[in-house]
Amino acid sequence: SDPAQPETGDDLICTVAPGRVNLIGEHTDYTGGFVFPMAIGYSTVCVGQGSIVPKARAKCKVVSVNKQSPQSQVITFEASKHMKPLPFDHSDSWTNYVAGVVDQYMAELPDDDHSISFQLAINGDVPLGSGLSSSAALEVAVATFIEKIMKDKYPDMKIGGGKEKALRCQKAENVFCSSPCGIMDQYVSATAASGSAILIDCRSLDYESIQMGETSQEGEAEKPVFLLCNS
């Protein structure tokens, strides 16, 4: 059967998060400096259904349909507040990027009797292993998906904004993927706006959206052109 085929009556949800390039500030995000990244027109997409359900009925089912990766089977895991990542050399260890984000949001549930449950198909065109933050795009797309199903169950829940989402995704990658990354990749993927770059102070975690290009006297925007080479 189709691994992405819904099994419940929940609404179909689609979330998207972009990859990124960095214009100024290499290796300064994890040392508390400034970085100046921007999102690119390549992204990761999550499509599926999900809800907050009693623990006994909770299952997380994930499938990658990305042609860049060999995985196509459905991977199932249970969400809990004591989740552990798969070993690095496990054939399904790529799902640690998903499970790590789930782990971050499990801590936000108001009781121990319910859990996150979903069926999720993942695709994207961010080149893997190219330094364009495909992992952050995956984490942020999954986080946005989970926030949607949590808000559906708990409309008054205070989940936070883009900064809080980025911090959860960063911690997910630090803990579940053993990657000591800084905050930049997840931050720009969670907060980027069209036509702008993001100036991030990685010490205070404040950021400013900087429009790329000035408006001429005729009212036409003169925008710079960036050439990205996947070499």
What is the set of active-site residues? 185
Quote the CA–CA distance of 38 and 147 in Å, as a whole number: 23
Instruction: Tally the residues of the chain.
Output: 231
**Going by DSSP bridges, is the β-strand pair 60-64/114-124 parallel, antiparallel, or unpaired?**
parallel
Per-residue H/E/C for the chain: CCCCCCCCCCCCEEEEEEEEEECCCCCCHHHCCEECEEEEEEEEEEEEEEEEEEHHHCCEEEEECCCCCCCCCCEEECCCCCCCCCCCCCCCHHHHHHHHHHHHHHCCCCCCCEEEEEEEEEEECCCCCCCCCHHHHHHHHHHHHHHHHHHHHCCCCCCCCHHHHHHHHHHHHHHHCCCCCCCHHHHHHHHCCCCEEEEEECCCCCEEEEECCEECCCCCEECCCCCCCCC
